[in-house]
A and B are shown apart, each in its own frame.
Chain A
Amino acid sequence: MTDTRATEMGAAEAGAIVRPVEKPVEEYALRLGDDALLLSHRLSEWLTRAPDLEEEVALANIALDLLGQARYLLSLAGQSTAQNEDVLAFRRSDREYRNALIVELANGDFAHTIVRLLFFSTYQRALYRSLAHSADANLAAFAGKALSEVAYHVEYAAGWVVRLGDGTEESHDRAAAAVAELWPYTAELFAADDLVNALATEGIAADPAVLHAEWSEQIEAVLAQATLGVEPTGVWRPGGGRSGLHTEALSYLLAEMQSVHRAHPGAAW
């Protein structure tokens, strides 16, 4: 490699073990950044496969917005340990990822992607609306910016969920199947633990219970309009993503997403 930047980075990064982030607010940023990064990747998998050109462009744009969010959040997460966004994105193993499971699940049909986007972006909008007033200045400035972008994601997803649910028998059944499959995974987005509770008390993190109430109200309204029912909250609530316990779907995703970086550590172009 003749690029000096690449050589320097490569030497520093090659073989280096990724260190856990240090501060609670960094762990929080890591969770949110991992959510954004992985859903961005799942959406980007639709490139050349979307039902039509407008949807292709829309999904790619949303993926790009989420990637922008991930880059900022992962940069925040790596501040104390001096690890940049690329180190955190490309050199961590599945056990070191802190995303909620819903974003890592493999893509299904278009309805699955749209219902997941509705569930997740509605959560993100409530989250960022709250974080725009965070006691952490970085998070607050970021959330205020991201909020206006996420509003478009919610509108796009909600518009499609209504069209699919209130469309043909086929589109209704597919949307209903996606709601049934994904609903249990939404619980993890609003799960509280010691980290979130402590940060919420300090006014840094959003209160999950408040987010859940706002989310439920908005989701119920969209699903009703889409002639899709709300799923009863069952006993099965998959979780574990925030502590590094994931489905095998994440391992396959990371294997692909990280392959170039691992083959050419620190390459720049």
Chain B
Amino acid sequence: MPYITLGDLGVVGAVRVDEDARSVHVELTPTYLGCPATEVIQQDVKAALLDAGWRSVAIEMRFDPPWTPERITQQGRAKLAAEGIAPPTGHARSKGAESAPVFVTLGRPPAEVRCPHCGAAQTDLLSAFGPAPCQELRRCPSCREPFPAIKRTR
């Protein structure tokens, strides 16, 4: 997904910088445990920081707190939608507001995922499993297009 940054996706956690030692420590959180992109993401982050002149780069994978779709920024959601991937509905966590309220859904979440192509509000779930671990497969009854959507976290 070259059109979205790791920051937009909410994969980057705390970043600690030691300017004197030119070292940087980055926390990353995978979307899903088995996400095949995890290793590429680690390598890319490390390479980008070394290219940027940091002498020592440490990457730490963290699951706690776990990644959820709420971590995708508003900008990230717009980018996903532009690429035909329905972003999660609900509120994006605003930047730097770690203590922002977290929305909790009880029972089965409503299936209101907007079609990224024609904007129809009601779409059907085809399969809870899609082209990537973090995506499900849906179909729009209005424009008849199938599309992937970011899964909710149960």
Contact = CB atoms under 8 A, between A and B. Distances in A.
B95 to A, nearest CB: 23
B33 A145 contact: yes
Given A58-B128, A62-B129, A64-B133, A144 B33 contact: no
Interface stretch (A82-90, A151-159, A225-233, A244-252): A151-159
B32 A65 contact: yes
Contact of A69 (B34, B127, B151, B153): B34
Given A54-B126, A149-B33, A149-B133, 19 more contacts: A57-B127, A57-B129, A57-B137, A58-B128, A60-B129, A61-B129, A61-B130, A61-B133, A64-B32, A65-B34, A68-B30, A69-B33, A71-B33, A140-B64, A142-B33, A144-B66, A146-B33, A152-B128, A155-B128
Nearest to B135: A61
A79 interface: no
A239 B25 CA distance: 46
A72 interface: yes
A68 B128 contact: no
Interface string B118-137: 00000000111111010001
A69 B30 CA distance: 12
B66 A145 contact: yes
A141 B33 contact: no
A68 B64 contact: no
Contact of B133 (A65, A141, A147): A65
Nearest to A146: B33
Contacts, number: 67
Nearest to B136: A152
A58 B133 CA distance: 10
Contacts of B32: 64-65, 68, 149
In terms of DSSP, what is the predominant structure of the interface of chain A? helix
B141 interface: no
B154 A152 contact: yes
A65 B31 CA distance: 11
Contacts of B63: 141-142, 144-145
Nearest to A154: B154
B7 interface: no
A140 B65 CA distance: 11
26 contacts: A54-B126, A54-B127, A54-B129, A57-B131, A57-B137, A60-B129, A61-B130, A64-B32, A65-B32, A66-B34, A68-B33, A68-B35, A69-B34, A71-B33, A141-B63, A141-B64, A144-B64, A145-B33, A146-B33, A147-B154, A148-B66, A148-B153, A149-B33, A151-B154, A152-B154, A156-B129
Contacts of A64: 32, 34-36, 133
Interface residues of B, number: 21
A254 interface: no
B16 interface: no
A71 B30 CA distance: 13
Contacts of B144: none
A39 interface: no
A67 interface: yes
Nearest to A62: B129
Nearest to B61: A72
A72 B63 CA distance: 11
Contacts of B153: 148
B149 to A, nearest CB: 14
A58 B127 contact: yes
Contact of B34 (A67, A140, A147, A155): A67
Contacts of B151: 152
Given A58-B129, A156-B129, A145 B137 contact: no
B22 interface: no
Interface string A33-59: 000000000000000000000100110
B39 to A, nearest CB: 10
Contacts of A69: 33-34
